[in-house]
Amino acid sequence: MSLASSWAIALVLSSVAVLGGPDVLDRLPAILSTPVWHLDDLYTGDPPQVLVESADVLLTAGNLQRIEVALRQPDAHDQTMFAFAFALGRRADVGLVAPLLERPTLPSPAFTGLLRGLAEHAPDNADEHLRAWLAADSLAEVLDAVPFLPATINRARMALGANERARARGVPSSGVNRLAFGSWLNPLPLNCALPNVNTPPSEPASQ
C-alpha cells in the first residue's frame, strides 16, 4: 500500500472517535467525504474495501432508514458516494432498496450508483425502475441514470423516449448526447440504436 493511501485511510479511521464511536453511521461521513481514489492504492472502478465493508454492515442490519441516511450524507464526495451506492445496490436484496428507487429523490450519485449496482444482479428490476420514472415524467433522472447502466436496446429506447418528451416540452435534454456520442452505445447493434438518435440543431454534438 502506498504511503499516500495509508495516510488517507489512517486519517479516515482516526475520525471515528471524533464522530462519536464505532457505529457505521458515525464513521461513514468521514469515509464518504474522502475522494474515492484516496481509499485504495489503484482505483479501478470497483468500490474500495472500506466502502464494501460499510455497505455490508448497513445491509446486515437491514434498516432502510439508516441506509437512506447514509446515502444522503451532505458532504459526500460524488465519486465516493457513487462507489458506495454501487456496492450497496450490487449486494442488497432487491426488496430492501426498492423503496429508495421508487422515485429518484436521492442525490444523483446515490441513486445512479444504487441503480447501477442493482442492474448487475437484478437487471429486470432496474429496468422496472426506469420505466416507472419514465411514466412519472422523471425524464432528467432517466437520462442521468441510463449512461451508468450496462447498454441494452430497451434502455436506449427508454432514454431516447425521455429525450423526445423533454424536447417536446422545451426542457433541456442534452444528456442524450452522452449516449449518442460517447461509448455507451458501442456494445449495441449499430442498426438498432443509432438511427433513433436525433440531436436537434440547437444542441451540437460537442455539448
- With b for 16 or more beta-carbon neighbours within 10 A and e for fewer, the 143-176 pattern comes to bbbbbbbebbeebbebbbebbeebbeeeeebbbb
Q: For residue 181, which of 154, 153, 204, 150 has the smallest C-alpha distance?
A: 204
Most confident of 4-8, 25-29, 72-76, 192-196: 72-76
Assign 164 a pLDDT band (cuts: 50, 70, 90): confident
The overall pTM is greater than 0.95: no
Question: Average pLDDT of the chain?
Answer: 77
Percent of the chain, pLDDT > 70?
69
The Cα–Cα gap between 47 and 56 comes to: 12
CB of 66 within 8 A of CB of 93? no
For residue 54, count other CB atoms closer than 10 A to its CB: 22
Assign 175 a pLDDT band (cuts: 50, 70, 90): low
Among 21-30, 65-74, 142-151, the range scoring the smallest mean pLDDT is: 21-30
For the chain, counts of helices (H) and of strands (E): 12, 0
Q: Cell digits for 31?
A: 469515509
State yes or no: pLDDT of 201 exceeds 60: no
The Cα–Cα gap between 77 and 201 comes to: 35
> Any idea what DSSP says for residue 33?
T
